[in-house]
Amino acid sequence: MFTVMSEAKRKRVFSGIQPTGNIHIGNYLGAIRHWASSQVGFDNIFCIVDLHAITTSQDPRMLRTRIRQAATLLFAAGIDPRLSAVFVQSHVSAHAELAWILNCLIPMGWMQRMTQFKEKSQKQKERVLVGLFDYPALMAADILLYETDLVPVGEDQKQHLELTRDVAQRFNSTYGLTFKLPEPVIPRKGARIMGLDDPTKKMSKSGSRPGHAVYLLDSPEEIRSKIMGATTDSLREIHFDKGRPALHNLLVIYELFTGLRRAEIEARFKGKGYIDLKRDLAEVIIEGLRPVQQRYRELTMDAAYIDSLLVGGVSKVRPIAEKTLLIVKEKIGLR
């Protein structure tokens, strides 16, 4: 018999995405697709993390557009507003407040170990913002405000999740049990899709070269040209081999979009070359993204509908966040 799990027993899922640029197939294969496919049976919250976005400089008009675009793409990719709350981080002030409180519990040394900060700040040197350094505290606040059980993310966020658990534990041992310890959920495959122009760097929204990433809203022509131009090695045989990172990356993308087994893919390209693989891969991506793009186009025709979904989302989550913040304030003597 079909049984509906009671609200109280359902595990809470929380994740976030930055509205900093065009959403790419790395975000999709590593995160969004999983958020969409495992909504049933969970209590899901997905956040457009605009306060994280401003840790690097953003053009105000562009940022406003990208917040709405990110929300629309989540719904287009299958996030169902009946099963999941989608909201904009800055609309719930408890995130910034709890981040400040956590700042006052996190030793500098923990933050200095964060590899994402080290990588991102290398490029910016002295211009790097304090907010970027503090990014993991805000992320911990996002997660801990909602008694989150599971955090589905790509591989790059693993260390931030560890810091979140560490700060939750430190709070609990200082002030008594308050926060649940969240578990990261990192997909076995596709958790780190690499740049098409450089298979040693993860595909990223901030990748500057045009051939770096396939974006979810790219046209078929753009997808073909990016995939045909992707870096490869000079060997011939097509098979899954981590020692050949550029080819491996293309094959993983192929695998995830088709759902085929590795042996089937290798058999399909036996005796064939890179051109065949790339041609086929481009079509597979185009077909895979077609329904998302179609739904996106439909949704953009009704901006008021997206706004109403975001209002619905924030009204579901704000009371949860405010309740947690109140408890925290009481525990530490602010009330």
Q: List, by residue number, the catalytic residues.
A: 120, 202, 205
| Coil/strand/helix, residue 85 | strand
User: Whose Cβ is closer to ligand ATP: residue 45's or residue 325's?
Assistant: 45
Should residue 15 be labelled a site residue for ligand LTN when binding is judged by CB under 6 A?
Answer: yes
Please list every residue from 152 through 181 that binds ligand ATP, using CB under 6 A.
153-154, 156-157
Cβ at position 298, least distance to ligand LTN in Å: 27
Should residue 18 be labelled a site residue for ligand LTN when binding is judged by CB under 6 A?
Answer: yes
Tokens 């989150």 locate to: 148
Choosing from 39, 157, 232, 324, the residue that interacts with ligand LTN (CB under 6 A) is: 157
Choosing from 13, 17, 227, 321, the residue that interacts with ligand ATP (CB under 6 A) is: 17
User: Whose Cβ is closer to ligand ATP: residue 161's or residue 325's?
Assistant: 161
Please list every residue from 126 through 145 that binds ligand LTN, using CB under 6 A.
139, 142-143
Q: How far lies 182's CA from each of 1, 11, 13, 138, 144, in Å?
A: 31, 11, 9, 15, 8
**What are the structure tokens assigned to 319, written together?**
């009371």
Inter-residue contact 171 to 101 (CB < 8 Å)? no
Should residue 204 be labelled a site residue for ligand ATP when binding is judged by CB under 6 A?
Answer: yes
User: Whose Cβ is closer to ligand ATP: residue 52's or residue 224's?
Assistant: 52
Should residue 202 be labelled a site residue for ligand ATP when binding is judged by CB under 6 A?
Answer: yes
**What are the structure tokens assigned to 22, written together?**
């065009």
Inter-residue contact 77 to 33 (CB < 8 Å)? yes
Inter-residue contact 51 to 42 (CB < 8 Å)? no
Contacts with ligand LTN, 39-58, as mask; x by CB under 6 A? ----------x--x------
CA angle 158, 160, 164 (to 5 degrees): 115
Cα–chain center distance at 11 = 19
Closest to 42 in 3D by CA, of 203, 152, 142, 126: 152
Question: Strands, DSSP E only, in the chain?
Answer: 11-17, 42-48, 84-88, 150-152, 183-185
Q: Which stretch binds ligand ATP (CB under 6 A): 76-84, 197-205, 238-246, 291-299?
A: 197-205
Contacts with ligand ATP, 53-92, as mask; x by CB under 6 A? ----------------------------------------
Should residue 296 be labelled a site residue for ligand LTN when binding is judged by CB under 6 A?
Answer: no
Question: Which residues lie near ligand LTN (CB under 6 A)?
Answer: 14-16, 18, 49, 52, 139, 142-143, 151, 153, 157, 160
